[in-house]
A and B are shown apart, each in its own frame.
Chain A
Amino acid sequence: MGRAKLPRKSTNIDMTAMCDVAFLLLSFFILATKAKPAEAIHVTPPSSVAAKKVPQKDVVLVTLDPSGKVFISMDDKSKKEFIANSIKNTTNPSLNVNAFVNATFWGAPFAGINSFLAIPEDKRTGAALPGIPVDTTKGVNEMVEWMRLVKSAYNGEKINLLLKGDNEAKYPAFRAIVDAFKTNDLLKFQMVTNPEAAPAGTELWKIWNSGDKSARAEE
Protein backbone atom coordinates (compact mmCIF):
# COMPACT_ATOMS: atom_id res chain seq x y z
CA MET A 1 0.00 0.00 0.00
CA GLY A 2 1.98 2.88 -1.17
CA ARG A 3 5.39 3.52 0.00
CA ALA A 4 4.82 4.12 3.64
CA LYS A 5 8.31 3.81 4.92
CA LEU A 6 8.55 2.45 8.39
CA PRO A 7 11.21 3.93 10.55
CA ARG A 8 14.13 1.58 10.16
CA LYS A 9 15.73 0.28 13.26
CA SER A 10 19.17 -1.19 13.25
CA THR A 11 19.09 -5.01 13.09
CA ASN A 12 22.74 -5.52 13.67
CA ILE A 13 23.44 -7.90 16.53
CA ASP A 14 26.87 -8.14 17.99
CA MET A 15 27.98 -11.73 17.35
CA THR A 16 31.12 -11.61 19.44
CA ALA A 17 29.59 -13.26 22.48
CA MET A 18 28.14 -16.11 20.44
CA CYS A 19 31.49 -16.69 18.87
CA ASP A 20 33.13 -16.88 22.28
CA VAL A 21 30.63 -19.47 23.47
CA ALA A 22 31.14 -21.52 20.32
CA PHE A 23 34.88 -21.66 20.75
CA LEU A 24 34.63 -22.45 24.44
CA LEU A 25 32.43 -25.45 23.67
CA LEU A 26 34.81 -26.48 20.92
CA SER A 27 37.81 -26.36 23.23
CA PHE A 28 35.92 -28.40 25.78
CA PHE A 29 35.20 -31.16 23.31
CA ILE A 30 38.70 -31.22 21.89
CA LEU A 31 40.22 -31.56 25.34
CA ALA A 32 37.65 -34.12 26.42
CA THR A 33 38.68 -36.49 23.67
CA LYS A 34 42.42 -35.94 23.71
CA ALA A 35 42.84 -36.43 27.42
CA LYS A 36 43.70 -40.14 27.06
CA PRO A 37 47.21 -41.16 28.13
CA ALA A 38 49.44 -41.95 25.19
CA GLU A 39 49.70 -45.68 24.67
CA ALA A 40 53.09 -47.18 25.03
CA ILE A 41 52.13 -50.16 22.90
CA HIS A 42 50.62 -49.29 19.54
CA VAL A 43 47.90 -51.73 18.59
CA THR A 44 45.34 -51.36 15.81
CA PRO A 45 42.46 -53.63 16.68
CA PRO A 46 40.30 -55.03 13.89
CA SER A 47 36.77 -53.74 13.42
CA SER A 48 33.74 -55.88 14.05
CA VAL A 49 29.96 -55.63 14.19
CA ALA A 50 29.89 -56.47 17.90
CA ALA A 51 28.14 -53.77 19.84
CA LYS A 52 28.94 -54.21 23.52
CA LYS A 53 30.74 -51.33 25.18
CA VAL A 54 34.13 -51.78 26.79
CA PRO A 55 33.70 -52.32 30.53
CA GLN A 56 35.56 -49.88 32.75
CA LYS A 57 35.90 -51.70 36.05
CA ASP A 58 37.70 -54.87 37.14
CA VAL A 59 39.47 -54.97 33.83
CA VAL A 60 42.39 -57.22 33.06
CA LEU A 61 43.61 -56.25 29.61
CA VAL A 62 45.88 -58.55 27.65
CA THR A 63 47.47 -56.75 24.70
CA LEU A 64 48.88 -58.58 21.72
CA ASP A 65 51.05 -56.43 19.49
CA PRO A 66 51.81 -57.04 15.79
CA SER A 67 55.04 -58.90 16.46
CA GLY A 68 53.34 -61.34 18.80
CA LYS A 69 54.45 -59.83 22.11
CA VAL A 70 52.03 -60.11 24.99
CA PHE A 71 51.51 -57.51 27.73
CA ILE A 72 49.11 -57.38 30.64
CA SER A 73 47.61 -54.37 32.39
CA MET A 74 45.26 -54.25 35.32
CA ASP A 75 43.49 -51.29 36.82
CA ASP A 76 43.10 -52.54 40.36
CA LYS A 77 46.19 -51.73 42.44
CA SER A 78 45.31 -53.91 45.40
CA LYS A 79 45.08 -56.97 43.18
CA LYS A 80 48.40 -56.07 41.58
CA GLU A 81 49.94 -55.84 45.02
CA PHE A 82 48.60 -59.29 45.83
CA ILE A 83 50.17 -60.69 42.68
CA ALA A 84 53.47 -58.91 43.34
CA ASN A 85 53.59 -60.29 46.86
CA SER A 86 52.87 -63.83 45.64
CA ILE A 87 55.72 -63.61 43.17
CA LYS A 88 57.98 -62.11 45.81
CA ASN A 89 57.19 -64.84 48.29
CA THR A 90 57.68 -67.69 45.88
CA THR A 91 60.12 -67.20 43.05
CA ASN A 92 61.52 -63.69 43.14
CA PRO A 93 62.46 -62.28 46.55
CA SER A 94 64.07 -59.20 45.03
CA LEU A 95 60.95 -58.03 43.21
CA ASN A 96 60.24 -54.33 43.60
CA VAL A 97 56.60 -54.53 44.69
CA ASN A 98 56.05 -50.79 44.55
CA ALA A 99 57.30 -50.47 40.98
CA PHE A 100 55.10 -53.38 39.93
CA VAL A 101 51.98 -51.87 41.48
CA ASN A 102 52.62 -48.52 39.83
CA ALA A 103 53.42 -49.90 36.41
CA THR A 104 50.58 -49.29 33.95
CA PHE A 105 51.39 -52.53 32.16
CA TRP A 106 54.04 -55.23 32.18
CA GLY A 107 55.40 -57.65 29.65
CA ALA A 108 58.52 -59.59 30.45
CA PRO A 109 59.44 -63.18 31.23
CA PHE A 110 59.47 -64.05 34.91
CA ALA A 111 63.23 -64.11 34.84
CA GLY A 112 63.43 -60.63 33.38
CA ILE A 113 60.82 -58.85 35.41
CA ASN A 114 63.27 -57.04 37.64
CA SER A 115 65.09 -55.51 34.71
CA PHE A 116 61.75 -54.57 33.18
CA LEU A 117 60.76 -52.69 36.32
CA ALA A 118 64.15 -51.02 36.41
CA ILE A 119 63.43 -49.25 33.12
CA PRO A 120 61.97 -45.80 33.89
CA GLU A 121 58.25 -45.49 33.22
CA ASP A 122 58.52 -43.17 30.22
CA LYS A 123 61.05 -45.37 28.44
CA ARG A 124 58.86 -48.47 28.50
CA THR A 125 57.73 -48.45 24.90
CA GLY A 126 56.64 -51.45 22.90
CA ALA A 127 59.51 -52.16 20.56
CA ALA A 128 62.20 -52.49 23.20
CA LEU A 129 60.22 -54.68 25.55
CA PRO A 130 60.50 -58.47 25.50
CA GLY A 131 56.83 -59.28 26.13
CA ILE A 132 55.59 -62.34 27.99
CA PRO A 133 56.80 -65.50 26.29
CA VAL A 134 53.95 -67.61 24.97
CA ASP A 135 55.62 -69.66 22.26
CA THR A 136 55.62 -73.27 23.37
CA THR A 137 58.15 -74.22 20.73
CA LYS A 138 60.68 -71.90 22.31
CA GLY A 139 59.91 -72.47 25.96
CA VAL A 140 57.03 -72.34 28.36
CA ASN A 141 53.76 -70.51 27.86
CA GLU A 142 54.16 -68.15 30.81
CA MET A 143 50.65 -66.74 30.33
CA VAL A 144 49.34 -69.81 32.09
CA GLU A 145 51.16 -68.84 35.28
CA TRP A 146 50.19 -65.17 34.97
CA MET A 147 46.53 -66.02 34.53
CA ARG A 148 46.72 -68.30 37.53
CA LEU A 149 48.08 -65.41 39.59
CA VAL A 150 45.40 -63.05 38.27
CA LYS A 151 42.71 -65.56 39.06
CA SER A 152 43.98 -66.06 42.59
CA ALA A 153 44.15 -62.30 43.11
CA TYR A 154 40.51 -61.91 42.15
CA ASN A 155 39.56 -64.87 44.30
CA GLY A 156 36.18 -65.62 42.78
CA GLU A 157 35.10 -62.08 41.93
CA LYS A 158 34.07 -61.33 38.41
CA ILE A 159 36.96 -60.47 36.13
CA ASN A 160 36.40 -58.49 32.94
CA LEU A 161 38.99 -60.21 30.84
CA LEU A 162 39.76 -58.22 27.72
CA LEU A 163 41.98 -59.11 24.83
CA LYS A 164 43.19 -56.37 22.52
CA GLY A 165 45.06 -57.75 19.57
CA ASP A 166 46.57 -56.05 16.59
CA ASN A 167 45.31 -56.80 13.10
CA GLU A 168 48.57 -58.31 11.97
CA ALA A 169 49.29 -60.45 15.01
CA LYS A 170 49.66 -64.07 13.99
CA TYR A 171 47.23 -66.70 15.12
CA PRO A 172 49.61 -68.91 17.19
CA ALA A 173 50.23 -66.18 19.79
CA PHE A 174 46.50 -65.58 20.07
CA ARG A 175 45.89 -69.30 20.39
CA ALA A 176 48.48 -69.55 23.18
CA ILE A 177 46.74 -66.77 25.13
CA VAL A 178 43.37 -68.45 24.68
CA ASP A 179 44.85 -71.75 25.82
CA ALA A 180 46.23 -70.03 28.92
CA PHE A 181 42.71 -68.79 29.70
CA LYS A 182 41.23 -72.22 29.15
CA THR A 183 43.78 -73.95 31.35
CA ASN A 184 42.85 -71.63 34.19
CA ASP A 185 39.15 -72.10 33.58
CA LEU A 186 38.67 -68.47 32.53
CA LEU A 187 36.12 -69.29 29.88
CA LYS A 188 34.55 -65.91 29.24
CA PHE A 189 36.53 -63.12 27.71
CA GLN A 190 35.95 -60.23 25.38
CA MET A 191 37.97 -58.92 22.49
CA VAL A 192 38.33 -55.19 21.95
CA THR A 193 37.43 -54.11 18.44
CA ASN A 194 36.49 -50.97 16.57
CA PRO A 195 32.80 -50.60 15.90
CA GLU A 196 31.37 -51.31 12.47
CA ALA A 197 27.84 -51.33 11.14
CA ALA A 198 26.19 -54.56 10.04
CA PRO A 199 26.32 -54.88 6.23
CA ALA A 200 22.98 -54.16 4.60
CA GLY A 201 20.70 -57.04 3.79
CA THR A 202 22.36 -59.62 6.03
CA GLU A 203 20.77 -61.51 8.91
CA LEU A 204 22.35 -59.33 11.54
CA TRP A 205 21.19 -56.18 9.82
CA LYS A 206 17.65 -57.54 9.80
CA ILE A 207 17.84 -58.19 13.52
CA TRP A 208 19.18 -54.70 14.24
CA ASN A 209 16.47 -53.08 12.15
CA SER A 210 13.60 -55.10 13.45
CA GLY A 211 14.06 -53.43 16.82
CA ASP A 212 13.93 -56.82 18.46
CA LYS A 213 15.65 -56.17 21.77
CA SER A 214 15.69 -59.77 22.90
CA ALA A 215 17.43 -60.90 19.75
CA ARG A 216 20.09 -58.21 20.17
CA ALA A 217 20.64 -59.17 23.77
CA GLU A 218 21.54 -62.66 22.60
CA GLU A 219 24.66 -61.39 20.82
Chain B
Amino acid sequence: MAEMDTSSGGGHKKGPGVKKGKKLSTRVDLTPMVDLGFLLITFFIFTNTMSQPTTMKLNLPKDADKPEDQNKSKESGTLTVLLGKENHVFYYEGQLKPDGSNFKSASFAGENSIRDVIIKKRNEVMARHVHDGGCNEIWAKHKGDQKYCLDKDLVVVIKPNSESTYRNFIDILDEMAINGIKKYAYVYIAEGEETAIKLTEGAAGK
Protein backbone atom coordinates (compact mmCIF):
# COMPACT_ATOMS: atom_id res chain seq x y z
CA MET B 1 0.00 0.00 0.00
CA ALA B 2 2.64 2.48 0.88
CA GLU B 3 4.31 2.57 -2.43
CA MET B 4 5.21 5.25 -4.80
CA ASP B 5 5.86 3.51 -8.01
CA THR B 6 8.51 5.69 -9.53
CA SER B 7 10.35 3.25 -11.59
CA SER B 8 8.30 2.52 -14.61
CA GLY B 9 11.01 0.95 -16.57
CA GLY B 10 13.68 3.07 -15.04
CA GLY B 11 16.35 0.63 -15.71
CA HIS B 12 16.21 0.75 -19.43
CA LYS B 13 18.12 3.01 -21.55
CA LYS B 14 15.79 4.31 -24.18
CA GLY B 15 18.42 5.31 -26.54
CA PRO B 16 20.89 8.05 -27.05
CA GLY B 17 19.89 11.62 -26.40
CA VAL B 18 17.24 10.98 -23.74
CA LYS B 19 17.99 13.10 -20.66
CA LYS B 20 15.27 12.18 -18.21
CA GLY B 21 13.63 8.98 -19.16
CA LYS B 22 11.90 8.33 -15.86
CA LYS B 23 8.13 8.66 -15.82
CA LEU B 24 6.78 9.43 -12.36
CA SER B 25 3.70 7.56 -11.37
CA THR B 26 0.81 9.59 -10.02
CA ARG B 27 -0.37 7.05 -7.53
CA VAL B 28 -0.82 8.87 -4.21
CA ASP B 29 -1.20 6.97 -1.00
CA LEU B 30 -4.19 8.11 1.00
CA THR B 31 -3.56 6.31 4.28
CA PRO B 32 -2.28 9.33 6.25
CA MET B 33 -5.25 11.38 5.08
CA VAL B 34 -7.65 8.79 6.40
CA ASP B 35 -5.73 8.73 9.67
CA LEU B 36 -6.05 12.48 9.99
CA GLY B 37 -9.73 12.28 9.18
CA PHE B 38 -10.37 9.78 11.94
CA LEU B 39 -8.30 11.75 14.39
CA LEU B 40 -10.40 14.82 13.74
CA ILE B 41 -13.60 12.81 14.12
CA THR B 42 -12.45 11.47 17.48
CA PHE B 43 -11.56 14.96 18.57
CA PHE B 44 -15.00 16.32 17.70
CA ILE B 45 -16.81 13.42 19.32
CA PHE B 46 -14.97 13.94 22.57
CA THR B 47 -15.33 17.70 22.70
CA ASN B 48 -19.02 17.37 21.92
CA THR B 49 -19.76 15.02 24.79
CA MET B 50 -17.57 16.88 27.24
CA SER B 51 -18.88 20.35 26.55
CA GLN B 52 -22.42 19.72 27.71
CA PRO B 53 -22.88 21.97 30.70
CA THR B 54 -23.75 20.40 34.03
CA THR B 55 -25.84 21.81 36.82
CA MET B 56 -25.29 22.16 40.53
CA LYS B 57 -28.32 21.78 42.73
CA LEU B 58 -28.97 24.23 45.47
CA ASN B 59 -31.78 23.80 47.95
CA LEU B 60 -32.78 26.89 49.83
CA PRO B 61 -33.75 26.66 53.47
CA LYS B 62 -37.18 28.03 54.21
CA ASP B 63 -36.32 30.77 56.64
CA ALA B 64 -32.62 31.32 56.75
CA ASP B 65 -33.03 34.69 58.37
CA LYS B 66 -34.26 33.46 61.74
CA PRO B 67 -31.45 34.07 64.22
CA GLU B 68 -32.42 31.04 66.35
CA ASP B 69 -31.51 28.68 63.52
CA GLN B 70 -28.09 30.21 63.16
CA ASN B 71 -27.12 29.59 66.74
CA LYS B 72 -28.14 25.98 66.98
CA SER B 73 -24.80 24.62 65.83
CA LYS B 74 -22.13 24.06 68.43
CA GLU B 75 -19.57 26.79 68.47
CA SER B 76 -16.70 24.34 68.46
CA GLY B 77 -17.83 22.79 65.22
CA THR B 78 -18.48 25.97 63.28
CA LEU B 79 -16.23 27.35 60.60
CA THR B 80 -17.22 30.65 59.05
CA VAL B 81 -15.86 31.47 55.62
CA LEU B 82 -16.03 35.04 54.33
CA LEU B 83 -15.62 36.05 50.70
CA GLY B 84 -14.20 39.42 49.74
CA LYS B 85 -13.29 41.21 46.56
CA GLU B 86 -10.67 39.95 44.10
CA ASN B 87 -10.92 36.33 45.19
CA HIS B 88 -9.98 37.01 48.80
CA VAL B 89 -11.22 34.52 51.31
CA PHE B 90 -11.12 34.79 55.12
CA TYR B 91 -12.23 32.47 57.85
CA TYR B 92 -12.60 32.11 61.58
CA GLU B 93 -13.61 29.28 63.84
CA GLY B 94 -16.46 29.58 66.30
CA GLN B 95 -17.42 33.13 67.20
CA LEU B 96 -15.52 36.14 65.95
CA LYS B 97 -13.46 37.50 68.86
CA PRO B 98 -13.86 41.25 69.46
CA ASP B 99 -10.17 41.87 68.90
CA GLY B 100 -10.28 39.90 65.69
CA SER B 101 -7.52 37.58 66.80
CA ASN B 102 -9.05 34.49 65.26
CA PHE B 103 -9.77 36.18 61.90
CA LYS B 104 -7.47 34.64 59.34
CA SER B 105 -7.07 34.80 55.62
CA ALA B 106 -6.60 32.04 53.08
CA SER B 107 -6.55 31.69 49.34
CA PHE B 108 -8.47 29.70 46.79
CA ALA B 109 -5.54 27.68 45.54
CA GLY B 110 -1.89 27.11 46.30
CA GLU B 111 -0.49 27.01 49.84
CA ASN B 112 -2.76 27.97 52.68
CA SER B 113 -5.77 27.14 50.59
CA ILE B 114 -9.23 27.21 52.03
CA ARG B 115 -9.55 23.54 51.15
CA ASP B 116 -6.71 22.67 53.53
CA VAL B 117 -8.39 24.73 56.23
CA ILE B 118 -11.70 22.93 55.69
CA ILE B 119 -10.06 19.51 55.68
CA LYS B 120 -8.12 20.31 58.84
CA LYS B 121 -11.24 21.53 60.61
CA ARG B 122 -13.21 18.51 59.47
CA ASN B 123 -10.56 16.11 60.75
CA GLU B 124 -10.46 17.94 64.08
CA VAL B 125 -14.21 17.76 64.51
CA MET B 126 -14.29 14.11 63.50
CA ALA B 127 -11.49 13.23 65.94
CA ARG B 128 -13.24 15.02 68.81
CA HIS B 129 -16.64 13.58 68.12
CA VAL B 130 -18.42 11.57 70.78
CA HIS B 131 -21.44 9.62 69.62
CA ASP B 132 -24.60 10.83 71.29
CA GLY B 133 -28.37 10.55 70.92
CA GLY B 134 -28.52 12.72 67.84
CA CYS B 135 -26.58 10.11 65.93
CA ASN B 136 -29.38 7.59 65.86
CA GLU B 137 -31.35 9.09 63.03
CA ILE B 138 -28.21 9.44 60.92
CA TRP B 139 -27.36 5.79 61.52
CA ALA B 140 -30.88 4.78 60.58
CA LYS B 141 -30.36 6.36 57.15
CA HIS B 142 -27.07 4.60 56.55
CA LYS B 143 -27.90 1.14 57.91
CA GLY B 144 -26.02 1.56 61.17
CA ASP B 145 -22.64 2.41 59.66
CA GLN B 146 -21.08 4.35 62.49
CA LYS B 147 -18.72 6.47 60.46
CA TYR B 148 -21.49 8.63 59.02
CA CYS B 149 -22.08 10.39 62.32
CA LEU B 150 -18.51 11.55 62.81
CA ASP B 151 -18.97 14.92 61.11
CA LYS B 152 -22.35 15.68 62.61
CA ASP B 153 -21.10 18.71 64.52
CA LEU B 154 -19.35 20.37 61.63
CA VAL B 155 -21.16 23.32 60.11
CA VAL B 156 -19.67 25.73 57.61
CA VAL B 157 -21.26 29.16 57.35
CA ILE B 158 -20.55 31.05 54.16
CA LYS B 159 -20.81 34.85 54.14
CA PRO B 160 -20.02 36.55 50.87
CA ASN B 161 -19.69 40.34 50.93
CA SER B 162 -21.03 42.61 48.25
CA GLU B 163 -17.77 42.71 46.30
CA SER B 164 -17.27 39.00 45.89
CA THR B 165 -18.19 37.38 42.63
CA TYR B 166 -20.56 34.59 41.65
CA ARG B 167 -17.57 32.45 40.79
CA ASN B 168 -16.21 32.75 44.35
CA PHE B 169 -19.54 31.59 45.68
CA ILE B 170 -19.74 28.61 43.33
CA ASP B 171 -16.13 27.70 44.16
CA ILE B 172 -16.93 27.61 47.86
CA LEU B 173 -20.01 25.49 47.22
CA ASP B 174 -17.75 23.22 45.19
CA GLU B 175 -15.37 22.94 48.15
CA MET B 176 -18.33 21.80 50.23
CA ALA B 177 -19.03 19.03 47.76
CA ILE B 178 -15.36 18.12 47.27
CA ASN B 179 -14.69 17.79 50.99
CA GLY B 180 -17.91 16.06 51.84
CA ILE B 181 -19.35 18.76 54.08
CA LYS B 182 -23.00 18.01 54.56
CA LYS B 183 -24.10 20.96 56.66
CA TYR B 184 -23.51 24.39 55.31
CA ALA B 185 -25.41 27.62 55.10
CA TYR B 186 -24.95 30.99 53.46
CA VAL B 187 -26.15 34.09 55.20
CA TYR B 188 -25.78 37.86 55.09
CA ILE B 189 -22.50 39.23 56.32
CA ALA B 190 -22.47 41.21 59.57
CA GLU B 191 -21.06 44.67 60.22
CA GLY B 192 -18.22 43.49 62.41
CA GLU B 193 -17.12 41.06 59.76
CA GLU B 194 -17.20 43.69 57.02
CA THR B 195 -14.93 45.87 59.13
CA ALA B 196 -12.59 42.98 59.76
CA ILE B 197 -12.36 42.33 56.04
CA LYS B 198 -11.70 45.96 55.24
CA LEU B 199 -8.97 46.19 57.87
CA THR B 200 -7.25 43.04 56.71
CA GLU B 201 -7.43 44.05 53.06
CA GLY B 202 -6.18 47.52 53.89
CA ALA B 203 -3.30 46.24 56.00
CA ALA B 204 -2.16 43.94 53.24
CA GLY B 205 -2.16 46.90 50.92
CA LYS B 206 -4.76 45.50 48.54
Contacts and interface: CB of A to CB of B under 8 A. Distances in A.
Bind each other = yes
Interface of A: 11-13, 15-16, 18-19, 22-23, 25-26, 29-30, 32-33, 45-46, 48-55, 64, 162, 165-172, 174-175, 178, 181-182, 187-196, 198-199, 202-205, 207, 219
B55 interface: yes
Given A15-B29, A15-B31, A50-B56, A203 B41 contact: no
B48 interface: yes
B73 to A, nearest CB: 20
B162 A171 contact: yes
By DSSP majority rule, is chain A's interface helix, strand, loop, or mixed?
A: mixed
Nearest to B37: A22
A82 to B, nearest CB: 25
B56 A52 contact: yes
B201 to A, nearest CB: 16
A49 B53 contact: no
Contacts of A189: 57-58, 60
Interface stretch (B10-18, B93-101, B129-137, B164-172): B164-172
Contacts of A178: 60
Interface string B17-41: 0000000000101110110011011
B71 interface: no
Interface in B143-194: 160-171, 173-174, 177-180
B89 interface: no
A201 to B, nearest CB: 10
A11 B1 contact: yes
B162 A15 contact: no
A188 to B, nearest CB: 6
A196 B51 CA distance: 11
A49 B37 contact: no
A44 B72 CA distance: 38
Interface string B104-128: 0000000000010001000000000
B54 A18 contact: no
A172 B161 CA distance: 8
Give chain B's interface residue range (CB within 8 Å of chain A). Answer: 35 or more
A195 B170 CA distance: 12
Given A19-B30, A193-B55, A165 B166 contact: yes
25 contacts: A15-B29, A16-B30, A26-B41, A33-B51, A50-B56, A50-B57, A52-B57, A54-B52, A165-B170, A167-B166, A170-B165, A171-B165, A182-B60, A187-B61, A188-B59, A188-B60, A190-B57, A191-B170, A193-B54, A193-B55, A193-B56, A195-B52, A195-B54, A196-B174, A203-B178
A171 B54 contact: no
Given A15-B30, A187-B59, A187-B60, A49 B174 contact: yes
B116 to A, nearest CB: 11
B204 interface: no
Given A49-B178, A53-B54, A188-B59, A18 B165 contact: no
A181 B60 contact: yes
Contacts of A165: 166, 170
A26 B37 contact: yes
Contacts of A45: 53
B1 A13 contact: yes
B62 interface: yes
A27 to B, nearest CB: 10
Contacts of A170: 162-166
Contacts of B170: 46, 48, 165, 191, 193
A165 B115 CA distance: 23
B3 interface: yes
